[in-house]
Copies of this chain bind each other. A is one copy, B any other.
């Protein structure tokens, strides 16, 4: 977590302060042989290649040709490194909404951008997040999302709530999708066969009398057709945006 408090408020770990550019190198002592960004980049490279589980301090150090313990001069703990990895992994935010976009078009574009990041870097979903965002790029994403709601009749608190709602949805959807992908790889099943296999398994386990609704869903073959995962994403997103739209209309009227 972030934060001990002193008179000037909560205090950031050194490595995160340096991500904000708030830290100058002390004039004395030997020149550092590495840098926080180099370490974070190496860790991200490992995660991209072999998944988050492969990210150990020794593996990252090896990637850099350094000794394990050398890293601890730059990051306070592995948790801190993970936080910085998330910031780098998300990358720069997609930018403010285009001028011609209304709030819905803007948020949709924003949502797809996050969706795309999580699709390409599913290890981001496995990082145990331990608090609200405090790193520069993540706050950039938040800023750009909030801007989409500029000009709506929502209160500031409501804008934040809406954004939380949407980003939560995106993460959740991405988590489910990546679980299917990882599960199919682990079981050696074609990704397209994963949900049908799951459906058959559940059908064998449940008694129709005790699980009538579930049985009906399975009988309808819902899990057998492998529809485009993007359709599923669009479905949920549209439901949520419909709900937000209803709220905005109420506030406007």
Contact = CB atoms under 8 A, between A and B. Distances in A.
B172 A211 contact: no
Contacts of A232: 161
A213 interface: yes
Contacts of A158: 235
B197 A9 contact: yes
Interface centre among A9, A12, A132, A200 (most CB of B within 10 A): A132
A76 interface: no
A239 B243 contact: yes
B222 A157 contact: yes
A116 interface: no
Interface string A133-169: 0101001101100110110000111111110110011
A169 to B, nearest CB: 7
B183 A173 contact: no
Interface residues of A, number: 79
A205 B139 contact: yes
A206 interface: yes
A214 interface: yes
Interface string A231-244: 01001101111111
Contacts of A213: 143, 146-147, 149-150, 159
A228 to B, nearest CB: 13
A187 B238 contact: no
In this complex, the member of A20, A158, A159, A201 whose beta carbon has the largest number of chain B beta carbons within 10 angstroms is A201
A105 to B, nearest CB: 17
A242 B186 CA distance: 38
Contact of A5 (B143, B159, B187, B236): B187
A239 B162 contact: yes
Contacts of A200: 9-10
Interface in A198-218: 198, 200-202, 204-206, 210-214, 216-217
A-B complex: 9 closest residue pairs judged by Cβ atoms? A168-B172, A243-B243, A239-B243, A146-B213, A156-B220, A242-B243, A1-B186, A157-B222, A1-B183
